[in-house]
Amino acid sequence: MRGSDRLAWPYLLGLAALVALPAVAAFGLAFTEYSGLTSPEFTGLDNFSRMIGESAFWRSLGNSVIYIAISVPLRLLAVVALTLLLHSHFRGSSTGRASAYLPTVIPDVAYSLLWLWLLNPLYGPLAGIFASLGLTSPSWLTEPTSARFAVAIMGVFQIGEGLVIALAARRVLPEHLFEAARVDGAGAWFTFKRITLPLLAPVLLLLTLRDVILALQLNFVPALLMTDGGPRQATTFLPLYVYRQAFRYFRLGYASAVSLTMFVVTGLAIYALYRMSKRWRLA
């Protein structure tokens, strides 16, 4: 082992003790009945068969899938748009970059409370804007569809990290290519479609995969604090469902089974995306 590798040991130990072991233990619990008060009892695949029969599980899985379907493309679109807008140097571009990053550093709880105010149908600023335009504001958090959208839209502003990665990727593209395209008579859209997008594709693919993983967890705090999973279970996403099963109903074994399922589903989603993107990666 080389000297530099030895430096990795503290990290690897921490990773094993704090991440790998609890994960293995939790996956082990998935095959037991465990309330936290008595010792776990091995029940084989009982938790999984119960899960399959439980409509609340399917509803929260569906909610999570819908959330991913809305949030991931919107976030990707926002990252690409802001990257194109902010990668070059102009007056106010660094302020623009800072403000685009800012929502990401706000703690999740504060961020959720802020949105609770923004979306408030009576005295929130969004309602005010709708009213001043003579429109009726959507009821946001009190209707299932608009509540799902509201929670997804909140996430669209927290793209700081992805933006930094995409900006860096855009900055390293040689400027000569874009000059060549200009002399070749390519317009802005043509250049974007044929040059910028394909060259950024590998990084955007990475961001998409990362976002799918992130999107499964991103909505826990808003769902807990803002909507409490409602209205009519519309924002009970998988993390909130697991949390409730574990810490409200003390079905820790069952919650572990759902977590394990979530893990596998994420893995499958990533694999499917990865296979679908073969064409992209050639760039």
Binding residue for another protein (CB under 8 A) from 66, 106, 165, 186? 186
Element (H, E) at 42: strand 41-42
Nearer to another protein, 151 or 181 (CB): 181
Cα separation, 234 vs 114, whole angstroms: 21
Nearer to another protein, 41 or 179 (CB): 179
CB of 185 to another protein, least distance (A): 3
CB of 189 to another protein, least distance (A): 10
Cα separation, 223 vs 214, whole angstroms: 15
Element (H, E) at 41: strand 41-42
CB of 104 within 8 A of CB of 98? Answer: no
Tokens 């695949």 belong to residue: 45
User: Quick one: which segment of 3-11, 75-83, 177-185, 239-247 binds another protein (CB under 8 A)?
Assistant: 177-185
Cα separation, 144 vs 211, whole angstroms: 23
Binding residue for another protein (CB under 8 A) from 199, 206, 212, 225? 199
For residue 18, the 8-state DSSP code is I
Binding residue for another protein (CB under 8 A) from 9, 58, 117, 190? 190
Cα separation, 263 vs 266, whole angstroms: 5
Cα separation, 121 vs 131, whole angstroms: 10
Binding residue for another protein (CB under 8 A) from 180, 268, 272, 276? 180
CB of 143 within 8 A of CB of 121? Answer: no
Binding residue for another protein (CB under 8 A) from 44, 183, 278, 279? 183
Rg, Å, the chain Cα set: 23
Annotate 142-174 with b (16+ C-beta within 10 A) or e (fewer): eeeebbbbbbbbbbbbbbbebbbbbbebbeeee
Size of the site for another protein (CB under 8 A): 19
User: Quick one: which segment of 39-47, 89-97, 195-203, 256-264 binds another protein (CB under 8 A)?
Assistant: 195-203
Judged by CB under 8 A, does residue 122 bind another protein?
no
Amino acid present at 239: P
Nearer to another protein, 98 or 283 (CB): 283
Nearer to another protein, 206 or 212 (CB): 206
Nearer to another protein, 182 or 232 (CB): 182
Binding residue for another protein (CB under 8 A) from 53, 132, 184, 278? 184
CA dihedral 58, 142, 225, 214 (to 10 degrees): 50
Cα separation, 143 vs 244, whole angstroms: 22
Judged by CB under 8 A, does residue 181 bind another protein?
yes
Nearer to another protein, 248 or 279 (CB): 279
Judged by CB under 8 A, does residue 188 bind another protein?
no
Cα separation, 270 vs 191, whole angstroms: 29
User: Quick one: which segment of 102-110, 126-134, 172-180, 244-252 binds another protein (CB under 8 A)?
Assistant: 172-180
Nearer to another protein, 50 or 87 (CB): 87
Q: Which residues bind another protein (CB under 8 A)?
A: 174, 176-177, 179-187, 190, 194-195, 198-199, 282-283
